[in-house]
Structure 1
């Protein structure tokens, strides 16, 4: 199994903070957002962890990586240097897995901070042998307009996956954490060739759920999606005394 951190965006909503710094490298606790994500992924027995970014921020991630010295982490840039050129996460994922080869992949957005123990997600995945997405129940239904709403049945199989609905049917949302077997992730090319959008990656999950059993695993605790200055400041306050090396 391999891990992927999707970090190819330009985070315009956080400008000027992210004009010259990629969002995953913004400070949190005693490290950065991506330090906490990598700490989570390193709990798993992964062959490697791949950071998918863009050419503009490739240097920033490589400089960060040189200071950390992780042996099994590498940076892979997509061919874009500005917002208008970005491929979208699904297209970037297609290029990345084509290079990295057949395997199962655990994928997370690069602006995620979460209490979920990824080992429990892998254990569940091994039981169902099918795609698994991590879900979180937010407090207010109106806030679900910003996310992908997910309805699951009594067996935790996804029955509805709707990106940014005008009238959210529930408070259960996708957190941008996906565990996909090779038979599914290898279908990204099929999805894109059919004219489907490369952004957001949730569209691919929705498409996949039409022909595959996709399971939704709900977790409790906390989840921060760093999509605005407000959410970033909220996460900074919550994480101010945390050390990424002990984060689990």
Structure 2
């Protein structure tokens, strides 16, 4: 059983400035709740018992808001040099177990929690990584990532590679959203990469090494992904979810 989850919430939120100079982007409200509340609820409803939030910019606001939640811990990403170094900070917390990973700028609305859907696929297929995927547009794919799939059976596809923010042509219009179940082997792979303070290192670089010798799958999940990484997406999410208690 997967009982631990990591949320990446250290970013500066530059596209939301000036408000994110004082409020961290993961705490921007959807209705009367911060974005993180929706993600944490998804994880708890999926059976997760321990959550580590990787914080950075305006971390004290996040820590104060969740200080009474005994299931939540924090680790600080002082150098904002990408998602791979951020995940590496969770190695001690994970302690050799498979874990769920969530990006903090996406909310998934679904009957069965998206993370729970991924857990089931991970367990059934003896996978090393499972991610939620959806189809996007030719315009948006260059801001996301592009998933190259080799086999598809029903709502599950085998992944051969993931291209981060492809320029020019892309392998497909299918993208991996910010929901994953990952085997602990990912930490040794991240440590094998060349970490540089001046270069942003994406987790997809580690995933592509993991995929060479291990099975990874994409799940066409049941539900609706809300992208709150842009002002337009945040406003749209508020219109749809902001009135839901």
TM-score norm. by structure 1 comes to: 0.86
* Structure whose residues are more often strand by fraction: 2
Equivalent residue, structure 2, for 1:11: 13
1-side partners of 2:118 and 2:86: how far apart? Answer: 24
Equivalent residue, structure 2, for 1:172: 174
Aligned residue for 1:170, secondary structure, equals coil
Residue 194 of structure 1 deviates from its aligned partner by 11
1:108–1:177 CA contact under 8 A, matched in 2: yes
Residue correspondences, number: 233
2:6–2:51 CA contact under 8 A, matched in 1: yes
Equivalent residue, structure 2, for 1:231: 233
Unaligned runs of 5+ in 2: none
Residue 121 of structure 1 deviates from its aligned partner by 1.2
2:189–2:209 CA contact under 8 A, matched in 1: no
1:95 and 2:93 aligned: no
Equivalent residue, structure 1, for 2:135: 137
Equivalent residue, structure 2, for 1:32: 34
1:123 and 2:120 aligned: yes
Equivalent residue, structure 2, for 1:246: none
Residue 4 of structure 1 deviates from its aligned partner by 0.4
1:4–1:108 CA contact under 8 A, matched in 2: yes
TM-score norm. by structure 2 comes to: 0.87
Aligned residue for 1:34, secondary structure, equals helix
Equivalent residue, structure 2, for 1:146: 143
2-side partners of 1:17 and 1:31: how far apart? Answer: 16
1-side partners of 2:47 and 2:163: how far apart? Answer: 32
2:52–2:93 CA contact under 8 A, matched in 1: no
1:8–1:89 CA contact under 8 A, matched in 2: no
Aligned residue for 1:154, secondary structure, equals strand
Residue 151 of structure 1 deviates from its aligned partner by 2.5
Of 122-131 and 94-103, deviating more is: 94-103
Residue 35 of structure 1 deviates from its aligned partner by 0.3
Aligned residue for 1:86, secondary structure, equals coil
2-side partners of 1:141 and 1:180: how far apart? Answer: 28
Structure 1, residues 10-59: CA drift from partner, whole Å, max 9, x if none? 011111121111111000023111000000000133241010011x4221
Unaligned runs of 5+ in 1: 244-248
Aligned residue for 1:210, secondary structure, equals helix
Equivalent residue, structure 1, for 2:66: 65
1:91–1:192 CA contact under 8 A, matched in 2: no
2-side partners of 1:27 and 1:13: how far apart? Answer: 16
Equivalent residue, structure 1, for 2:163: 162
